Every structure is written in structure tokens, then in C-alpha cells.
């Protein structure tokens, strides 16, 4: 069985208490803004509420458009009107 963890747990493991916390949001379809490569965003209270409980699994190394290296990913999630997104860390 492969290891998995929530985004919130991985953020807590990865970043120190005083370090800025970030995650990568990838999207596709319906006028996507970040694209499949994704872009780093601040992991603030709003992001924690929306994405913190997502289950993440180890994945092949991935480099976001702004050069953040990721080793974890959620499944692609279907949103409204054909919009899909994925969270990486």
C-alpha cells in the first residue's frame, strides 16, 4: 500500500513554524489560469480550509511553472463547467 497524507499534514512536515508555506495549484479546462505545470500559491487560512484535507500521494518529480519541485500530488478533481484542478507539494 502506498503512503498517503493530507495536504495539511505534509505542509506541517515540510515547513517550519516561521517559514512561508506554499503549495502548487495546477488546473485545466474552462479558461485555466495555472495550467498543468501549476503555480505556487501561499498556503494561508483560506487555502487550508479549501485544500488542507485533500489526500496526497507520492508522485514522480514535477517542476511547476515557477520552478517549485513537487513530489506529492492529489488526484485531478472535477470542478464546475469542465474545470479540473490538482494540488501538488
pLDDT, tens only, 25-79: 999 876 668 888 999 999 999 999 999 999 999 999 999 999 999 999 999 999 8
CA distance 29 to 7: 23
| pLDDT band, residue 1 (cuts 50/70/90) | very low
pTM of the predicted model as reported, rounded to 2 decimal places: 0.89
For cell 501549476, the residue is 38
C-alpha gyration radius of the chain: 13
Per the DSSP assignment, residues forming a β-bridge with 58 are 72
Q: Which residues contact 21 (CB under 8 A, 6 or more apart)?
A: 11, 14, 15, 42, 43, 44
For cell 515547513, the residue is 15
CA distance 15 to 42: 12
Give the start-to-end residue ranges of the domains of the chain. Answer: 5-88
pLDDT at residue 2, as a whole number: 62
Amino acid at each position: 500500500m502506498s503512503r498517503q497524507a493530507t495536504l495539511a499534514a505534509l505542509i506541517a512536515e515540510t515547513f517550519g513554524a516561521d517559514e512561508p508555506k506554499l503549495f502548487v495549484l495546477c488546473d485545466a479546462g474552462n479558461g485555466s489560469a495555472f495550467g498543468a505545470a501549476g503555480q505556487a500559491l501561499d498556503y494561508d487560512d483560506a487555502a487550508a480550509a479549501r485544500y488542507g484535507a485533500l489526500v496526497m500521494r507520492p508522485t514522480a518529480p514535477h517542476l511547476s511553472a515557477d520552478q517549485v519541485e513537487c513530489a506529492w500530488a492529489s488526484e485531478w478533481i472535477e470542478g464546475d463547467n469542465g474545470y479540473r484542478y490538482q494540488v501538488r507539494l
